[in-house]
Structure 1
Amino acid sequence: MQTNLYHILFSCFFLFLFFNSTQAQEIDSTRTLRIPAEREAIFPLSDSLLKSTPIVNPNDDIIQEDSTKTKSFLTDNVISTAKDYMMLDAKNKKAYLYNEAKIVYGDITLEAGKIILNNATNEVYAFGIKDSLGNYTQRPVFSQGQNIVEPDSIRFNFDTQKALVYNSRTQQGEFNVKGAITKKENDSVYFMQNVKFTTAKDIDNPEYYFNARQVKLVPEKKVITGLVTMYIADVPTPLMLPFGYFPLTDERSSGIILPSFGDNQNRGYFLQNGGYYFNINEYVDLAVLGDYYTNGSFGFRAESNYALRYKFRGNFSFRYEKLLNSEPGFPDYSESSIYNIRWSHSQDAKANPSSRFQASVNLGSSQYYQESINQTNTANFLNNNLSSSVSYSKTFSGFPEVNLNIAATHNQNTNTQEINMTLPSLNASMSRIYPFAPKNGTKKGIFENINFQYSLRGENRIKTTDSLFFKPQMFRDMQSGIKHSIPIATNFKLFKHFSVSAGTNFEENWVFKTIEQRYDQDTQAVVRDTLNGFDSFRTYNFSSSIGTTVYGQKNFGKDKKIQAIRHVIRPSLSYTLTPSFDQFYDTYLVPATSTLEARNVSYSRFEGSLFGAPGNRYASSIGFNVTNDFEAKITSRDTTATEPIKRKLLSNFSLGTSYNMAADSLKLQPVVVRGSLPVVQDKLTINFNGALDPYALNNSNERIDKWNINNGGSLFRLTRAQTSFSYSFSNKDFERDQDEQTDDLENESFRNGGRPDDLFGRSADFDGKLYEDEEEEVVENETKRYNYSIPWNLRIAYSMTYDNLRRNNEISGHSIMFSGDVELSPRWKVGASSGFDFVNPGFTFTQLRFQRDLESWRLSFNWTPFGDRESWYFFIGIKANVLQDLKYDKNRERDRRL
């Protein structure tokens, strides 16, 4: 590549000769001169002293240029400045710029304490000057674009375009490079002697560096070295390489991922998370990783990220492990195969406003996270549910507007190994139509507010287990059906303060499998046959409701701490009528026995179908619900505030029940109570709910049609209650303008099906960095103390469940979980995640975390001190991606056989 430096410096020298005065001049201003070029010379700007430090061969012939030529190579303004003086020596054909000398041409800038232009030898010299204390200051700084070279001195020849650079300092990719002497072989290859290169920020005092006597440098591409020795704190280490190759690029590149190692009492010594990273292109990458254990166990992992700006982004991973316990032939020998598939896809909102495709998939073996011992799965072994969803939605504009959604879903209980899937489900709906609405103006009254919709829902639903997953039996048990719904409704105002709504809903269900039941006298059992074929049934119901809102406020005065309390009541009364559809029911006769009389058993051929059988019980129910909200107006502590602060005292406190007038007994349903109690505004809210049953229990602890108060008890029996809250707070809560946002697509624990927080602990990636740990630049001095502003954070989750449905009167669930981190110093951070189960006393999964920021290095230690996952993981390595494989890490799991 060519350089503009020769033309720039020659043009600067020409400007000095152009002046008529032959005496030295003191200038403290900026001179700008535009000279039109006779012929435009176009040169790339990526090769310059910014990247090169060439050396001049003294034996080279130097061709003298006539300074009186009018031909100019200038294509832009030349700006030259100096704080003390700019002097022209016409006799020796030299120009001098002294003290904060600076030459600017286009995007190229040369700054130094002193700059000398020698027209006799066609050379330029730039070097620093000494201050009053004798310190060498104002070293040359040559910059072009974003690239910068900072040597002690520069000597450059216009004709040969070679240069000699002493103690050059430059940045290539993630490396900071300092060379004692640098020479340029050609426009793209440079040779350097006595070179230090490191990823530390301070090149003059790095905490570590690599030292090489001879280096070949290809800017922005690579560094090739001879013998390389690693120094830590200027102390040589035994780590040496006969030669070295280091890529210089800000972009990702393909390469080997070195594994971590350790030993396991069940599986022997192992290597984990070693493999190869493929940088396929700028849109997609692939990492292939593997684990191997000396007893024969192994694991495989393939992960890929992809993104297309303004279109979509996502990631995909497949993980498989073959785990052998003990050794073949031993009585405790066993083996298992587990796998997991994850896929996350998110479409940019700007890509297509009328259609959207998104996916969140997490499926595989139910025991994957429980049996896997890879440290990347640490925070997810407590998962008891895996779920997936892949959906496509499309909106067809017009009138009426039609919305279409096609989705496939999956839900898996890892404890029972039960799997529920829909492959696929189809939902289509038409926007609401008001056939009697006026063309202009608002709708008023019952008639004008009449509206109807149409919606369709079709599903293929599968219920299976791990052992039958994606086997023929799974598809033979699949249930299919289509439901058509047409709701018709209206609403209006009554006496100005009451809102009334009424409606009916018509449904038609299509099924493709029905059942037939009969009693077999030979086996004395009920025989259930499945009949394939189309069948259908239709249902309808009616509902109405009336409600209002009542406001009440108590004022205490504007001079009071609490100025006013406001109470909002939203009572509602509803009525629901559901007919009995006996026409869809059949009966079979069960003959009499010695103990039982003959009887007819009723059943519906649609039992077990996708949407269930139609009801054969007539219901006429009245429902009642009342919701309360309490708010307070509090005087602000800010004396400049003109309005009081609103605070919620109790939110959504509701009581609800229903009464079935058509039922033979137990007509009143339990009263459901729920609400939210805000304790700390926008931070801590206690949620609670419960059920109050008015009926009594008999000696068998079964509900009877007798009021509990008439049975010697209270008005209601508390049968169930639950309360829970979660709270996160930190030192930042006492600072203003704190806004934290998380991206679920980037949250490793959440993508695995776990919690988005770290109450289940944190997993460590193969570079030692904890997932969800943001990389923050530490600007404080490492010896600085925090005093009373130590950064910290704490997250707490609490839950308690009371059960008294059948006089068991017990706390069925009671636990607390917590996780937090404390920065003891700007570079020391400790954290812990744990919890306690009060029902079955004992600590839940506990993890202790220690991290040390060593500027260019990262040190971390994760320890699970007890439990089934007892283990530890140690890591120390360089942060920079280019040296990511320069690390030491080890983890060990306890012997599970003990």
Structure 2
Amino acid sequence: MSGTFTQAQEIGNTPSDSIPAVENKVEILPGDLPQIPSEIVNDTIQKDSIQKENELLTDIVDYFGEDYVFMNRKESKIYMYNKAYIKYEDMQIDAGIIIFDYNKKEVYAKGIVDSTGAYTQLPVFIQGTNQVEPDSIRFNYDTQKALIYNSRTEQGEFKVKAEVSKRENDSVVFLNNVKFTTAKDIDNPEYYFYARKVKFVPKKKIVTGLTNMYIADVPTPLGLPFGFFPLEEDRASGFIIPTIGENNNRGFFFQNGGYYFAVNDYIDLLTLGDYYTNGSYGMRIESNYALRYRFRGNVNFRYEKLLNSERGFPDFSEASVYNIRWTHSQDAKANPSSRFSASVNLGSSRYYQQSINQVNTANFLNNTLSSSVSYSKTFEGEPQVNLNIAATHSQNTNTQEINLTLPNITASMSRVFPFAPKTGIKKGIIQNLNFQYDVTAENRMNTTDSLFFKKEMFDNALLGARHSIPLSTNFKIFKYLSASAGTSYQETWVMKTTRKSFDPELNEIVNDTINSFDSYRTYNFNTSLGTTIYGMFNLGENKKIQALRHVMRPSVGYSINPGFNQYYEELRYNPTIAGGMTEEEVLIYSRFENSMYGAPNQNYSSSIGIGLSNTLEAKVKSKDSTSTEPKRISLLNNLNFNTAYSISADSLKWEPLRFSGSIPVVEKLDINFSGILDPYALDNNDNKINTFNIDNGGSLFRLTSANVSMNYSFSSKDFEKKEEDAKNSETFRSGGRPDDLFGDSNDISNPTYIGNREDAEERDVNIGRYNYAIPWDIRLAYTISYDNTRRQNEISSHSLMFSGNVDLSPRWSVGASSGYDFKDKGFTFTQFRFQRDLESWQMSFNWVPFSARSSWYFFIGIKSSVLSDIKYDKRREPDRQL
């Protein structure tokens, strides 16, 4: 049953006989029309002095009750019972019983008691986007004020429950005896904050008086005389409370305190700082930016000034480390013909070893930092031209050597077939003849940490360009042989050359750098011939292995590289030794030998290259009885053999035979192997001689080196981390592995939560114990290398790396990463991880039990971002002096 209630002002009725009915048709002539007076006559009727009363309701009231709707005109009330609701303007109340008093302009709502005695159909008060679920409610739709008892509401990540709530207007609510928490169950939370008096401004803030923290309904000594909790749905600027602790070498500290700037919808800024009482300090600036359908990125800068011990003490030391990270990606739809991207990770080589603001259990094992910032542009047309401008950086953290190109410009023109037919397929040598044009220009700098971006780095820079025009063609011979031939012309420009001279006074050769333009030109020729041979061995359709298929791809090639002696010079000099002058010596050198691309070939070379590629597959009977086709599996992937014979060499004409291949064992497990076989023997001094090993009493080949490696990952559910999640991890962004094979890292300023929110939702389905299936995952990496170049006959490296995680229960997770070095008889870097999901809280413990990186880190805190400052963490740092 439903109805509407409206009230409007009455108007008087006009008697029906005041206007006589016209039954007959009357014809009106133009002369019968009344004449318009020449003067305007004012009406003497005065304006109504009675003011119009305001209406009782300004909108339609819609109400409903499933069992009945009773209107008591004497009491001016409407009663609605069972699954009742009332709607007025933007307000709606659902409840078991609703009483609408239109004299007092109030609505009363409460639940009903069912046949079992349970209090059901509690009121739900909705106004706009705000929703409150109380035990009962009293609302005045004229003043918009309300009294709400035992209300439950959700604002952002907060859930609020109050005994009595007084709603003043749309923006202010006063609460008494309030519990607020981020736990999912507001009636039985694992923790909550209790306040006697609260001012609640929806979607903006919660302001409290005396507030205490309760855990499992037990009060804790944690309390505040007043509290302020922001409820901004959008990002908001605000202070970040630092972590307070003590360090043995640096004293007390304030760590990761700062300010977050919500600049606008497209960019934000985070500033954090550290301070230690011995004078050490650090700073971190991070910004995220995004423009929809255009680009997105992240900039991160960290700097730390580290003082160990106190000034004047013998163990005092001082160091400065920094790290810069920048990632930028452009949306593919932004511009199809141009693209800008950046991936930067550079800084002090010792940053990951010495930084005190994160636990670098995985990143310090990475020995290389690399960066690339590039812009590419495609110029459509015939031929098409591609332009790429980039700056690259490569840094070895062990040797502290830095290689930098700033900039690197590459332009290439697509292949041009000058003799190709306008329509149809290209055939023959002439029609397939094509050429290209490529140019590369670089400004290359090689420096170290101590000289990075100093004058010496730019003084030693090498600038040059290389133009290349390859000319090639391909054709068929006897239908089965594929032949190709080509030549390449290169012109190299450099801005620095070297001139050598002998200084009699110093009695040494002096190298003078000539800063001027110079160039040289080279060319070569190559040709190749190859084919594909298929072999099929049928074993019978009734057998498990029905057939074997062997595919061989032999190839032979010939290349000529002329010698360019015109770019070499002779330096004749007489060095002085004790007792007088020596005989004249001759030094042959090229002025381009220290240039960017090096010197051209001096010696003529001519060689024949031989290669063979093999794959082996099998057709096996399918286990699926409904399948009509056999299953194809791979037995051997890319077994490659390569060698070469030098026509121009006077000795050791045969190059060593190199082989490589892969053997699939099971799904996701391949055994990769490679090695070098040398046909020549060694003399008594372990030097290679121009005698075949078989002629020296040995075998046909000597195995000089070999390597076998395999990687395998498997789990109870055969799952792995998604590539997107892995590439967003702190470890991967810092240059480490995307998995946890070498351990996992923790950014102390932003502790990672246990799993993501979706995983947490799945775990909440069953929070008990696993009855029979415990989820787990394992990753293995095995490698062994053999070296016998000079009769060492030794295993140069032999190790097994492994990592795994086990979910002991839906909320308990244990993980470990370690390895064993079979050569040195010891464990490699080892880390243990313990994680506990405490519903609204999270706890983690990372432990490195031994090695120079021995350390541990404990963290417990609230998951919610609005209460992320409520946490406790403790750690023991590695001994930096080791």
1:815 and 2:799 matched: yes
Using the TM superposition, name which of 630-639 and 869-878 deviates more. 630-639
Cα drift, residue 105 of structure 1: 7.7
1:666 and 2:652 matched: yes
Which residue in the other structure is 1:877 paired with?
Answer: 861
Using the TM superposition, name which of 140-149 and 363-372 deviates more. 140-149
Using the TM superposition, name which of 94-103 and 234-243 deviates more. 94-103
The one-letter code sitting in structure 1 at the alignment partner of 2:634 is K
Cα drift, residue 724 of structure 1: 1.7
Cα drift, residue 335 of structure 1: 1.4
Using the TM superposition, name which of 602-611 and 244-253 deviates more. 244-253
Question: Aligned with 1:381: secondary structure?
Answer: helix
Which residue in the other structure is 1:852 paired with?
Answer: 836
Return closer, same or farther for 1:127/1:800 CA change in 2, 3 Å cut-off.
same
| CA distance in 2: counterparts of 1:517 and 1:424, whole angstroms | 30
Using the TM superposition, name which of 181-190 and 222-231 deviates more. 181-190
- 1:488–1:503 Cα contact (<8 Å) kept: yes
Cα drift, residue 267 of structure 1: 3.1
Cα drift, residue 525 of structure 1: 2.2
| CA distance in 1: counterparts of 2:418 and 2:99, whole angstroms | 89
| CA distance in 1: counterparts of 2:243 and 2:661, whole angstroms | 50
- 1:796–1:817 Cα contact (<8 Å) kept: yes
1:94 and 2:77 matched: yes
Question: Aligned with 2:171: secondary structure?
Answer: coil
1:142 and 2:128 matched: no
Return closer, same or farther for 1:841/1:251 CA change in 2, 3 Å cut-off.
farther
* Per-residue Cα deviation, 1:478-497 (whole angstroms, up to 9, x for no partner): 11111000011111121111
- 1:727–1:796 Cα contact (<8 Å) kept: yes
Cα drift, residue 569 of structure 1: 1.1
Which residue in the other structure is 2:613 paired with?
Answer: 627
Which residue in the other structure is 2:593 paired with?
Answer: 607
- 1:748–1:772 Cα contact (<8 Å) kept: no
| CA distance in 1: counterparts of 2:381 and 2:55, whole angstroms | 78
Which residue in the other structure is 2:432 paired with?
Answer: 449
1:889 and 2:880 matched: no
- 2:726–2:739 Cα contact (<8 Å) kept: no
- 2:3–2:63 Cα contact (<8 Å) kept: no
| CA distance in 2: counterparts of 1:771 and 1:758, whole angstroms | 16
Using the TM superposition, name which of 277-286 and 474-483 deviates more. 277-286
* Per-residue Cα deviation, 1:372-405 (whole angstroms, up to 9, x for no partner): 2333433211121111111111111111111000
Q: How does 1:483-494 map to 2 (within 5 A)?
A: 483-494=466-477
Question: Aligned with 1:378: secondary structure?
Answer: coil
**Residue number among 617, 620, 644 corresponding to 2:603 in the alignment:** 617
Q: How does 1:159-170 map to 2 (within 5 A)?
A: 159-170=142-153
The one-letter code sitting in structure 2 at the alignment partner of 1:886 is I
Cα drift, residue 651 of structure 1: 0.9
**Residue number among 204, 213, 216 corresponding to 1:221 in the alignment:** 204
Unaligned ranges ≥5, structure 1: 1-8, 16-62
Q: How does 1:418-817 map to 2 (within 5 A)?
A: 418-591=401-574, 598-681=584-667, 683-733=668-718, 740-743=722-725, 746-766=728-748, 769-770=751-752, 773-775=755-757, 776-778=759-761, 779-780=763-764, 783-817=767-801
| CA distance in 1: counterparts of 2:104 and 2:755, whole angstroms | 58
Return closer, same or farther for 1:671/1:10 CA change in 2, 3 Å cut-off.
same
TM-score by structure 1 length?
A: 0.88
Using the TM superposition, name which of 428-437 and 185-194 deviates more. 185-194
| CA distance in 2: counterparts of 1:203 and 1:714, whole angstroms | 80
Q: How does 1:101-250 map to 2 (within 5 A)?
A: 101-103=84-86, 109-143=92-126, 147-250=130-233
Question: Aligned with 1:882: secondary structure?
Answer: helix
TM-score by structure 2 length?
A: 0.90
Structure 1 moving runs of 4+ over 6 Å:
63-67, 104-108, 592-596
Which residue in the other structure is 1:831 paired with?
Answer: 815
- 2:357–2:748 Cα contact (<8 Å) kept: no
Q: How does 1:358-437 map to 2 (within 5 A)?
A: 358-437=341-420
Cα drift, residue 802 of structure 1: 1.4
- 2:146–2:168 Cα contact (<8 Å) kept: no
The one-letter code sitting in structure 2 at the alignment partner of 1:288 is T
Which residue in the other structure is 1:320 paired with?
Answer: 303
- 1:174–1:249 Cα contact (<8 Å) kept: no
Question: Aligned with 2:450: secondary structure?
Answer: helix
Cα drift, residue 362 of structure 1: 1.2
User: Between Structure 1 and Structure 2, how many residues are aligned?
Assistant: 833
Cα drift, residue 262 of structure 1: 4.4
Which residue in the other structure is 2:27 paired with?
Answer: none
Q: What's the % identity of the aligned pairs?
A: 62
| CA distance in 1: counterparts of 2:875 and 2:6, whole angstroms | 68
- 1:619–1:660 Cα contact (<8 Å) kept: yes
- 2:3–2:64 Cα contact (<8 Å) kept: no
- 1:748–1:771 Cα contact (<8 Å) kept: no
Which residue in the other structure is 2:30 paired with?
Answer: none
Q: How does 1:327-338 map to 2 (within 5 A)?
A: 327-338=310-321
Tell me how large the CA RMSD over aligned residues is.
2.6
| CA distance in 2: counterparts of 1:164 and 1:622, whole angstroms | 95
- 1:261–1:890 Cα contact (<8 Å) kept: no
- 1:265–1:894 Cα contact (<8 Å) kept: no
Cα drift, residue 894 of structure 1: 5.2
Using the TM superposition, name which of 418-427 and 754-763 deviates more. 754-763
Point out which structure has higher relative CO (alpha carbons under 8 A, 6+ apart).
1
Cα drift, residue 520 of structure 1: 3.5
| CA distance in 2: counterparts of 1:274 and 1:784, whole angstroms | 38
- 2:574–2:581 Cα contact (<8 Å) kept: no
Cα drift, residue 679 of structure 1: 1.9
| CA distance in 1: counterparts of 2:418 and 2:86, whole angstroms | 78
| CA distance in 1: counterparts of 2:527 and 2:128, whole angstroms | 72
| CA distance in 2: counterparts of 1:744 and 1:502, whole angstroms | 45
Cα drift, residue 66 of structure 1: 7.7
| CA distance in 1: counterparts of 2:55 and 2:572, whole angstroms | 122
1:284 and 2:267 matched: yes
| CA distance in 1: counterparts of 2:644 and 2:131, whole angstroms | 77
Question: Aligned with 1:475: secondary structure?
Answer: helix
| CA distance in 1: counterparts of 2:684 and 2:88, whole angstroms | 99
Cα drift, residue 895 of structure 1: 4.8
| CA distance in 2: counterparts of 1:456 and 1:897, whole angstroms | 50
Unaligned ranges ≥5, structure 2: 8-51
The one-letter code sitting in structure 2 at the alignment partner of 1:125 is Y
Return closer, same or farther for 1:259/1:649 CA change in 2, 3 Å cut-off.
farther
**Residue number among 818, 824, 835 corresponding to 1:840 in the alignment:** 824
Cα drift, residue 706 of structure 1: 1.0
Question: Aligned with 1:196: secondary structure?
Answer: strand
- 1:262–1:891 Cα contact (<8 Å) kept: no
Cα drift, residue 604 of structure 1: 1.1
| CA distance in 2: counterparts of 1:265 and 1:160, whole angstroms | 62
| CA distance in 2: counterparts of 1:162 and 1:495, whole angstroms | 96
The one-letter code sitting in structure 1 at the alignment partner of 2:381 is G
Cα drift, residue 177 of structure 1: 0.8
* Per-residue Cα deviation, 1:631-650 (whole angstroms, up to 9, x for no partner): 22333333444443332221
* Per-residue Cα deviation, 1:805-860 (whole angstroms, up to 9, x for no partner): 12122222222222221111111111111122222222222211111111111111
- 1:763–1:771 Cα contact (<8 Å) kept: no
Which structure has the larger Rg?
2
| CA distance in 2: counterparts of 1:142 and 1:557, whole angstroms | 77
Which residue in the other structure is 1:44 paired with?
Answer: none
The one-letter code sitting in structure 1 at the alignment partner of 2:531 is T
| CA distance in 1: counterparts of 2:282 and 2:446, whole angstroms | 29
Using the TM superposition, name which of 479-488 and 800-809 deviates more. 800-809
Cα drift, residue 146 of structure 1: 5.3
* Per-residue Cα deviation, 1:521-580 (whole angstroms, up to 9, x for no partner): 443322222112111111111111111112222233444333332221111111111111
| CA distance in 2: counterparts of 1:174 and 1:89, whole angstroms | 44
- 2:210–2:224 Cα contact (<8 Å) kept: yes
